[in-house]
Amino acid sequence: MADIKEGVGPAVIDHLNREPVVNVELNTSGRATGDVSADIQKLLDNMQLPPGVKATLGGDAESQTEVFGAIFAALGLAILLMYLILVVQFGSFLDPMAIMMSLPLSLIGVMLALAVTGYTINLMSLIGVILLMGIVAKNAILLIDFAKWAREERGLPLRESLIEAGAIRLRPILMTTFALIAGMLPIALGTGEGAQFRAPMGVAIIGGVITSTFLTLLVIPTFYEVMDEVRGKFARRAGFRAPQTAEHPVVAPAGD
């Protein structure tokens, strides 16, 4: 009826999506899960797998990819909502663009701080980036709002209004920056259980706030002035009259 032979085979045949699957599991030590997953993926890309066989990452690597995707989606939605709120408050679609320029400036400090401290881009550091998006924008809001007020209410030229805004708003900007850094230091330097998990968030916020504070005072006024000049050129080409300021006075013809 049959020939009986001894052999080696799987005791249990697992299935995933109705297909037989073999799980190769491992734990990481001393390296981030994302770095190990990237190296494994490179090796899999160079392998010639048999027909009908495919390799996919699962477990913590798959969960991490899903979490990162959700965080980036939340970050994009937060930036969009911030822009829409600024459009409503300023009554312009272009003025908020100068404020939004402060957001990528904070990422410079985030990357430098993480590189210096040896931390990686993980869940907590990305949460710190989301917090930064709302924190660093207030410096640019203080500058642009005061410059617009000085230009519209006092009739100052744009460059003078920006210089005065930087001089007057420098103190509150530095005060809030130092207060935030002092509040994040216990998290960045904390010890005890779970400190290594929370530390990247504090490091990311401190690095992003430091660079964005100093770069905002230099880049945002320059960008706003350039943007205003470009807007004025387009307005003159379209035949619109410039607003009444000290730079562009509007002289009405004398009537009877």
- Nearest alpha carbon to residue 183 among 213, 206, 212, 210: 206
Mean pLDDT of 46-60: 79
Tens digit of each residue's pLDDT (9 = 90 or more) over 183-231: 888 888 877 777 777 888 889 999 999 988 888 888 888 888 888 888 8
Does pLDDT of 2 surpass 70? Answer: yes
Q: Give the start-to-end residue ranges of the domains of the chain.
A: 60-237
Contacts for 161-167 with beta carbons within 8 Å, 24 or more apart? 162/221, 162/224, 162/225, 163/221, 165/221, 166/217, 166/221
pLDDT band at residue 124 using 50, 70 and 90 as cut-offs: confident
Does pLDDT of 242 surpass 50? Answer: no
Q: How far is CA 15 from CA 11, 21, 22, 60, 63, in A?
A: 13, 5, 8, 19, 20
CATH superfamily to which 60-237 belongs: Multidrug efflux transporter AcrB transmembrane domain (1.20.1640.10)
Does pLDDT of 252 surpass 50? Answer: no
Most confidently predicted of 42-51, 134-143, 178-187 = 178-187
Q: Is the pTM of this model over 0.75?
A: no
Mean pLDDT of 14-21: 80
